[in-house]
Structure 1
């Protein structure tokens, strides 16, 4: 999962938790606000009745005090305005058949669902009535009793919650959107860093990253730049070392070729001359034909050894591209395999692009790869048809593609993991040239492809 999505998901979870906490707090505050409204209503009505009580008391004199209960004319429109919605006020001692004076409750908020009306009183408890004396100095003046309406309290709480949730949802959506944009903007440089690492994985180590404002991302960018520089230096050193090793190995091959030619070649020629002399002498003297037969067998074995020695010398001496050029040397290589035996598989040579100006290490590497792949296909497989394709890709990717396919079976995975000298050698050559080598299954056999950049 992408980091941006993870951070946004966590942010949404935090917003949801905050929204839930706000909802619970709003429910509690709205439900308990009825208690505050009840106390306020009781206090306001008590103060109004206190003023009414003392006014009537002064007008009637103290002898008529017993006639002031209940306070005359307290059930007025002015008193009704002092009572909050959902609260009922009663004067004590009450007159016979007197009903409480209640605030407006009809249309007070939306009707809450049944589950809300059942859960809120269960967890938050019921409301208590509020008692206030009409006059603290006259205990006989009576009291005001304010009682909240439970249904109205639940309706008010539900209405308050709906209003709070609407605002909270809008704020949560705005916060989530703005925070997501901020997170995406803050993590946008990470995509640049990933792209640089991908280019480094493809071999483009010198990847300069822009300067980041964030200190952490700037440190990561600096580390990536430093890593790219070190990888490029290490790759150049390894390539130089590999090229030097290949040069040393080629020198050793040339020296070995000279030794084989001078020592084995001369000795084999001498053995062949001695065998011919023995065969000729035995035939002239009419001696036992067994000696002549043995001499002929020695001559045949010597010819076979000399042919094998010539093949080894061809492989060990300097490659033909240095003498004939890449195109002519490839044609000569294929023709030499074709001329050895008519029973060998069909070899198709496909040359594409301009190969005339390819020389030096690139031409040598291409020739060695084609030579080794053809040798492996002919000696270690049962192929009936082998295709050798050399293509030059011009343009920005100026590179040489060598592909050898056969239908002789073989396990591509096992061959790619092989540590044979031939395959290891061409891997080293291709790597030293800055190219790549791949071994993949083909139709009925194997496909070995090597890419050698010519610009390097």
Structure 2
């Protein structure tokens, strides 16, 4: 689930809880407002009746006070206007058959559900009548008793609840929409951070991020930038270390090649000379024993020739590739010609050179030569390929890289080749990585395709 939706859902839950709390508060307040309206109605009616009482008392001073009670003509429209809706007022002492004077209760609110009325009455209880004396100076002037109509009070509370719920729902929808837009706008930089991390995963470690207004996102962006710098520095150090190791290995290979050439080559040459001498000396004598010696000497010569041929191949692989000094194009042509000339039964090797390769020298040329050499060797030795395509392409412009493409039709398995831990593939991987390039091994139409990209800036 997206973070924006999670935040909006949580905000909506908070709004629902607040709506519930507001509903409870509105119910209590509406229910208690009836008590306030009851007290206010009693107060207003008592003030009006006090004025009426003293007026009658002064105009009819010859009459007894008992004859003034209840106050005459108090049930008027003016008095009814002083009574709040849903409130009934009664004057004590009351006259014969006198009914309470009630305010307008129709249209106060909708009829509430039974469960609401039962819950409110059970939790909040019933309304207490309010008794207000007509005059504080004349205790015998009577009093005003105001009581609330329970049904009207419940209807009024239910109407307040409905009004608050409608308003709260509209506010909840508005808050959800506005909060969604605000949260989406606030989290928009997260997409840039994710994009930067994806670029770092592809090797673009130094990916600048804009400055974010949010302090938290700015801290995350700064951490991502610092991480990219550290990764880039670590990869540069690793590449430098790999180049140094390759240089050391090249020196060791040259030293080993010199030792093999000087020691094994001279000894093999001496063995061959001794065998030729024995064969020549034995050929001058015609007896059977000497013929066997000559045959043995001839076999020694043949074995020595085979060992010397194998030694020459080993020395060619151990020595530093001539591509660094002679140029890549000439060395590739020589490499392909050497494979073609060894055996006519070898598969057809097609060399395709694109772009200007004349100035490609140094470590890039050596790496490209080693890739081509290793791939040709693997195709010729470990597959039944009948055609091998070696393509070297120089790409200029923004890419500025050298592409080495080797494809055969030997029906190999690219996954097994890629998972191989042989020294050949490991070596070319290390070389390409040290130069900041990339190596890919994939299935071709009828075989395996190896593609290496080496930046010329290396």
TM-score, normalised by the number of residues in structure 2:
0.85
- Residue range with higher mean Cα deviation, 429-438 or 315-324: 315-324
Show CA shifts across 1:165-198 (max 9, x none). Answer: 3433444444444444444444444444444444
The equivalent residue for 2:83 is 83
1:19 aligns with 2:19: yes
Partner of 2:434: 432
Whole-Å separation in 2 of the counterparts to 1:260 and 1:297? 23
Aligned residues of 1:346 and 1:386 also touching (Cα < 8 A): yes
Aligned to 1:163: 163
> Aligned match of 1:316 in 297, 315, 318?
318
1:336 aligns with 2:319: no
CA deviation profile, 1:122-178 (whole Å, cap 9, x unmatched): 433333333333334444443333222233223322332333334334444444444
With over 3 angstroms needed to count, the CA separation of the structure-2 counterparts of 1:54 and 1:369, relative to structure 1, is: same
Q: Residues 174-323 of structure 1: matches in 2 within 5 Å?
A: 174-286=174-286, 287-288=288-289, 289-322=291-324
TM-superposed CA distance for 1:75, in Å, is 1.4
User: For the Cα contact (< 8 Å) 1:254–1:317, is it kept in 2?
Assistant: yes
CA contact (8 A) 2:324 2:363 kept: no
CA contact (8 A) 1:377 1:408 kept: no
Q: Is the 2:129–2:145 Cα contact (8 Å) retained in structure 1?
A: yes
Contact 2:242 2:434 in 1 (8 A): yes
Q: Say if 2:401 is the partner of 1:395.
A: no
2:362 is the counterpart of 1:371: no
Q: Secondary structure at the match of 1:330?
A: helix
Structure 1 residue 397 displacement after superposition: 1.5
Rounded Cα–Cα distance in structure 2 between residues aligned with 1:2 and 1:387: 49
Deviation of 1:83 after TM superposition, in Å, equals: 1.1
Classify 1:307/1:157 alpha carbon distance in 2 versus 1 (closer, same or farther; 3 Å): same
| Structure 1: gaps spanning 5 or more residues | none
What is the Cα-based RMSD across aligned positions, in Å? 3.2
TM-score under structure 1 length normalisation:
0.86
**Please, which moves more after superposition, 28-37 or 189-198?**
189-198
SS of residue paired to 1:274? helix
2:37 is the counterpart of 1:37 = yes
Contact residue 414 and residue 441 of structure 2 kept, 8 A:
no
Change (3 A) 1:92 1:195: same
Change (3 A) 1:78 1:206: same
Task: Name 2:56's counterpart in structure 1.
Answer: 56
Q: Are residue 105 (structure 1) and residue 105 (structure 2) matched? A: yes
Pick aligned residue for 1:361 from 360, 363, 367: 363
CA distance in 1, matches of 2:261, 2:329: 27
When the two structures are aligned, how many residues end up with a matched partner?
A: 455
CA contact (8 A) 1:383 1:409 kept: no
Paired residue for 1:452? 454
Report Cα offsets for 1:78-109 as digits up to 9, x if no partner: 11101111222233344444332222122223
* CA distance in structure 1 between the partners assigned to 2:102 and 2:85 by the alignment: 8
Compared CA separation, residues 343 and 36, structure 1 to 2 (3 A): farther
Give yes or no for contact 1:381–1:410 (8 Å, CA) kept in 2: no
Q: Which residue of 1 aligns with 2:145?
A: 145
